[in-house]
Amino acid sequence: MLDTSSSNLKNKALYQLILDWYGTPYAFGNNTKKGIDCSGFTQIIYKEIYKKDLPRRSSDMSELIERKYSKDLKEGDLVFFSFGNSKEINHVGIYLSNNKFVHASTKKGVIVSDLTEPWYGDYLVKCGPIK
């Protein structure tokens, strides 16, 4: 899934937590295994893995990052998207490696996607680590 061997993964707890949630369906405003949205999933990962509390909304999370270029992303950095006609940030994911990121997709639930896919690459508006 990440185009790397498991021996190259630094943060085993992160990947175990992702596996635990993988496939959980999308449900706006929820944060349980019955359904979760992108910001709720990001909050859980950051609370359990990085011991940091994040705001509930992706647009509010985006105000806390130190911006960087997508080519410089590191595991755990946040990636923000603006889908639709508005310029407002309305989706968030967590960067893993090799252009892959984990997020709660509205159609597929918790999945790993690739930033180079046109659907994501065209709508990526901000990324970086929490300050």
| pLDDT tens by residue, 72-94 | 999 999 999 999 877 899 999 99
79 - beta bridge partners? 93, 127
pLDDT of residue 5: 57
Give the chain's mean pLDDT.
93
Which of the residues are catalytic?
38, 91, 103
Query: Which pTM does this prediction carry?
Result: 0.93
**Is the pLDDT at 6 greater than 80, yes or no?**
no
Contact 26, 105 (CB under 8 A): yes
**Is the pLDDT at 22 greater than 60, yes or no?**
yes
Full 3-state SS string of 79-131: EEECCCCCCCCCEEEEECCCCEEEEEECCCEEEEEECCCHHHHCCEEEEECEC
Report phi then psi at 28, rounded to 5: -60, 130
